[in-house]
Structure 1
Amino acid sequence: MDGFAAVDFEFARQVLQRGIAALYIVAFTSTLNQFRPLLGEHGLLPARELLDWAQTTKRVGLRLRPTLFRYIRYTDRRLVTLCWAGIVVSAALVLGIPQLGAPWIAMLCFLALWLAYMSIVSIGQTFYGFGWEMLLLEAGFLAAFLGSDSQPPTTVVVVLFWWLVFRLEFGAGMIKIRGGREWRDLTALTYHHETQPMPGPLSRQAHLLPRWFHKLEVVGNHFAQLVVPWFLFAPLLGLWVPGPVPAMVGAVAAAIVIATQLWLVATGNFAWLNWATIVLAVSAIGLPALAQARGPVAEPVEAPPWLIDDIPLPWLIVTSAVGALYVVLSWWPARNLAARRQLMNASFNRWQLANAYGAFGTVTKERIEIVVEATMDENPDAATWHEYGFKGKPGELNRIPRQFAPYHLRLDWLMWFLPLGRSLDDWFTAFLVKLLQADPSMLRLLAHDPFDGARPAWIRAVSYRYRFTTRQQLRVSHARWVRDRRRAVLGPLRLRGVSPRDIRPGTMDR
């Protein structure tokens, strides 16, 4: 650090800008492929209905978060246009093209991504109700003020990234300590690899590791999330303490965060949460040698009246204003970290800045899956039932779970949440109707349609308990999962001019 300029963090700036932009490409691509069947004009939870409702309730003070679709009427075509525009701008930032100009150009590009994706998240309802959505939004906003290649990043913005990583990691650690007993008695990861929302190719191998290793995992998790984040701020000591030690402490802290996140990447599918954390953690890695090799600072496109620590004064004023804004907004997440009833993945303002983060305060002990089955037979009592296959969630017993992250399979994730609720969600009953209609856009979200596009006569939902096979079971059966049927959850149902609102699901087992 050199006063107002974080001269040693040029490498961090490059990783942050390009990495965050790459994650926006993933987010917009996920939206492009999935928003229309889930939330489009003919989706399960049509966004247009939400916007119309928000307009009618405006008089009583109920407001949506900011979205362009409040001013430009939503259509699927406009949604597609917005996604493609976001992908193009993100790709330019990954290539570093806007960063070659004045800092205002890169700033406008990132703010455009932030506003465009917020416009989608604000109308995404339950399908966009994940912590990594607000994390990406906040990261995109902060990235707008990292500047361009014409000057070093400002210290205040780099520190704001450390504060973001701190809230992300320390918040997750505190939610676990305050959550289920399994985190305190060190048994949480005995279950987690098997019961997590979307297992990956190595999840079964991780689950079969010895119990002592799982306890060591929990200890390592607590250390990485409760102790290490404090040391991310160590490079600030470099302003007063000479020598490389403060920077090295911050870099080691960042490396520990990155290592733990890579383990989560290898053993699960958590959309872009882990990859975003990895990118953000790089913000604490300072490389003085790289800063020295950078040579003299390039002349800005429009030379300002004067420079302060090689930073144009107007840009320093803007970034300092962002820092002051965060000092005010951070009161609420800081208070939440100390609260006994800590909120998880909560936003305290409409712009989703300075959020509270956290995940997996409790770990489920068994995996209950809702399996959707249908038949072409007219008599459901004597029918042969066939399963629909999902891309990410367990289904076929012999199939090795695939790696999808950082891509986000929204339908598969919400299918995992179904058994955790007291009753079925409205979107699920609408989903069953779409399958009875053999809706092509909905079928494209699945891995397998047993009827090749034809309409089934009946449909039902059945719950199963899934468990990973042991090594011996795998050798005998070549199956990765074993399962036992629990109960019929819904149905059989057939389509006779019935709308989703006419279906009344019963209560489910936890």
Structure 2
Amino acid sequence: MEWFTADGYWLSRLIFQRSLAAVYLVAFVAAALQFRALIGSRGMLPVPDLLSRTSWRAAPGLFRLHYSDRFFALVAWTGAAVSLALLAGADAHVPLGAAMALWAVPWVLYLSIVQVGQVWYGFGWESLLLETGFLAVFLGNGDTAAPVLVLWLLRWLLFRVEFGAGLIKIRGDECWRRLTCLDFHHETQPMPGPLSWFFHRLPKPAHRMEVAANHLTQLVVPFLLFTPQPVASFAAGLMVVTQLWLVLSGNFAWLNWLTVVLALAAIDWSLIAGPAPAQPGSPLWYEVVVIAVTVLVLALSYRPARNLVSRRQVMNRSFDPLHLVNTYGAFGSISRMRLEVVVEGTGEAVIHEGTRWIEYGFRGKPGDPRRLPRQFAPYHLRLDWLMWFAALSPAYARPWFGPFVERLLRNDRDTLRLLRHNPFPDGPPAHIRARVFHYRYTDWRELRATGCWWDRTYVRDFMRPVARPVPLRPGPTPEKGDGRR
């Protein structure tokens, strides 16, 4: 069928596939390096406990068949190895069916990880990676031209990501409608980057322009994805520029990078690279499979599409257990004040008024006021992100904060690897406490005078001093927040 393929998109497919493989690689490496402390057999929220109280139907995956920390590590590192092979172009050197199977491997492996990740994997970009990865299985390789149906499904996904994020803002916090949200956002976002301080200090008219440009890109430009070329390429290019602006201004794991990957697939690179090389026609079995998948995705799109037009729009929600078609969005509301939970320990057996408390340092979240935030995205620091939610409400931390503190009190090696430094290298602390501080960016004058990027003020206790044994009080999480399902 001549209509089935888009010959001019051979380079678009190639760029998309290699870029997606890079995102997969980062996701699998992050899972392999962090899982033991978070969800391992002796972690804060152990996978075996989850499996014992949930059903296969609710969260299917490989770990329903078997779980051990060694097996999880095997799954994660296998996913990283396959992603690296795809990044190197392994799918181009095998037959079409084998290439599809190769792309299915990281999708199955990462789906299995997300299904047992619990609150640590409760972010919209997990579903976005799975939905994108599922569609990538059916893009084929050099044995056939890119299937136009899958290319349109990728644009439909990009449309939902951008348009959903734009609608949740307009319907949510009034500061988005007043163009004032960026007066706060660069300071209060979950994990600032090294340039966030400078973005925050831009003149307020520049912040108004940022918000207005964001509304244009998310509420108007997405419709242009479905117009003829070169207009669709121009629309996708605007989205790339917007996402790279967000990359510079903060740390949002691979959310922005994966959105860029989707936008790159919508660009007709033949406008730059010239005519496509000759490609063979598609086999009948492949056309049947792609058409069937298209029908499936369109059928599953009903609920996400209905959510988009609903006044009660929700964001970052999966409507099926395999995360095939989801709804997205971020920052429907903006915090006006940055609160941070500061965790401290002491080696003194008896606490008194003069007790010396030493602060634990986290890799990404603000702590030491003199420390400029670092760039970590697309790598995802899961503990640091959940600490931001904990500061918003202790209810977010109820399932895992007690186990976290318990592991600090015994200098658990895997837990300490999640932190920037351990202030008690010679032995575990006698007590741990946590306090909430109000953080605000200093201005230019304060920065020059003190060398501090942040000014912080004590607000309240988050957890009074505790020693072993630590009472564990697991409980339900509250309603989902920005960036989370």
TM > 0.5:
yes
Q: Which string of whole-angstrom CA distances, capped at 9 and with x for unpartnered residues, describes residues 411-466 of structure 1?
A: 00000001222534220111011111111111111001111151111111100000
Conservation of the 8 A alpha-carbon contact between 2:402 and 2:471 = no
User: Using a 3 Å threshold, how does the CA distance of structure 1 residues 481 and 319 change in structure 2: closer, same or farther?
Assistant: same
User: Using a 3 Å threshold, how does the CA distance of structure 1 residues 330 and 276 change in structure 2: closer, same or farther?
Assistant: same
Aligned partner of 2:293 among 316, 319, 322: 322
Mapped pair 1:355 → 2:337: no
| In structure 1, distance between residues paired with 2:146 and 2:426 | 54
Q: How many residues align?
A: 473
Match of 1:284 in 2: 266
User: Using a 3 Å threshold, how does the CA distance of structure 1 residues 322 and 493 change in structure 2: closer, same or farther?
Assistant: same
Match of 1:68 in 2: 62
Aligned partner of 2:277 among 289, 292, 295: 295
| In structure 1, distance between residues paired with 2:431 and 2:270 | 66
Bigger mean CA deviation after superposition, 153-162 or 100-109: 100-109
Shift of 1:207: 0.2
5 Å-filtered alignment, 1:226-305, equals 226-234=219-227, 246-288=228-270, 293-297=275-279
Conservation of the 8 A alpha-carbon contact between 2:16 and 2:264 = yes
Mapped pair 1:399 → 2:371: yes
| In structure 2, distance between residues paired with 1:381 and 1:231 | 65
Shift of 1:211: 0.6
Q: State the identity as a percent.
A: 48
AA at the equivalent of 2:412: D
AA at the equivalent of 1:471: W
Mapped pair 1:425 → 2:425: no
Q: Which string of whole-angstrom CA distances, capped at 9 and with x for unpartnered residues, describes residues 377-410 of structure 1?
A: 1222231101000000000111111000000000
- Which secondary structure does the structure 1 equivalent of 2:458 belong to? strand
Match of 1:446 in 2: 419
Match of 1:10 in 2: 10
Mapped pair 1:466 → 2:459: no
Shift of 1:286: 0.9
| In structure 2, distance between residues paired with 1:20 and 1:191 | 32
Conservation of the 8 A alpha-carbon contact between 1:8 and 1:291 = no
AA at the equivalent of 1:69: F
Structure 1 residue ranges without an equivalent (≥5): 235-245, 299-309, 504-510
5 Å-filtered alignment, 1:71-110, equals 71-72=65-66, 74-110=67-103
| In structure 2, distance between residues paired with 1:81 and 1:287 | 38
Q: Which string of whole-angstrom CA distances, capped at 9 and with x for unpartnered residues, describes residues 137-156 of structure 1?
A: 01110000110112111100
AA at the equivalent of 2:455: V
| In structure 2, distance between residues paired with 1:410 and 1:155 | 37
- Which secondary structure does the structure 2 equivalent of 1:311 belong to? coil
Match of 1:380 in 2: 351
| In structure 1, distance between residues paired with 2:300 and 2:473 | 41
Match of 1:225 in 2: 218
Q: Which string of whole-angstrom CA distances, capped at 9 and with x for unpartnered residues, describes residues 90-142 of structure 1?
A: 11111111223222122111211111111010010000000000000011100
Match of 1:507 in 2: none
Match of 2:173 in 1: 180
Q: Which string of whole-angstrom CA distances, capped at 9 and with x for unpartnered residues, describes residues 248-267 of structure 1?
A: 10111001100000000001
- Which secondary structure does the structure 2 equivalent of 1:464 belong to? strand
AA at the equivalent of 1:79: F
Shift of 1:290: 6.5
| In structure 1, distance between residues paired with 2:253 and 2:366 | 17
Conservation of the 8 A alpha-carbon contact between 1:440 and 1:453 = no
Shift of 1:471: 0.7
Bigger mean CA deviation after superposition, 103-112 or 77-86: 103-112
Structure 2 residue ranges without an equivalent (≥5): 476-485
Match of 1:241 in 2: none
Shift of 1:499: 4.5
AA at the equivalent of 1:400: L
Mapped pair 1:201 → 2:185: no
Match of 2:28 in 1: 28
AA at the equivalent of 1:68: L
- Which secondary structure does the structure 2 equivalent of 1:371 belong to? strand
| In structure 2, distance between residues paired with 1:77 and 1:88 | 16
Bigger mean CA deviation after superposition, 378-387 or 146-155: 378-387
- Which secondary structure does the structure 1 equivalent of 2:318 belong to? coil
AA at the equivalent of 1:66: P
AA at the equivalent of 1:405: A
Q: Which string of whole-angstrom CA distances, capped at 9 and with x for unpartnered residues, describes residues 245-293 of structure 1?
A: x211011100110000000000100000000000110111113357754
Match of 1:500 in 2: 472
User: Using a 3 Å threshold, how does the CA distance of structure 1 residues 195 and 502 change in structure 2: closer, same or farther?
Assistant: closer
RMSD: 1.6
- Which secondary structure does the structure 1 equivalent of 2:428 belong to? coil
Normalised by the length of structure 1, the TM-score is 0.90
AA at the equivalent of 1:409: L
Match of 2:207 in 1: 214
| In structure 2, distance between residues paired with 1:471 and 1:338 | 44
Conservation of the 8 A alpha-carbon contact between 2:139 and 2:150 = yes
Shift of 1:86: 0.7
Conservation of the 8 A alpha-carbon contact between 2:224 and 2:232 = yes
| In structure 2, distance between residues paired with 1:144 and 1:291 | 25
- Which secondary structure does the structure 1 equivalent of 2:462 belong to? strand
Normalised by the length of structure 2, the TM-score is 0.95
Structure 1: 4+ residue segments shifted above 6 A? none
Conservation of the 8 A alpha-carbon contact between 1:9 and 1:291 = no
- Which secondary structure does the structure 2 equivalent of 1:381 belong to? coil
AA at the equivalent of 1:76: D
Conservation of the 8 A alpha-carbon contact between 1:188 and 1:218 = yes
| In structure 2, distance between residues paired with 1:22 and 1:40 | 25
Match of 1:302 in 2: none
Match of 2:307 in 1: 336
Match of 1:43 in 2: 43
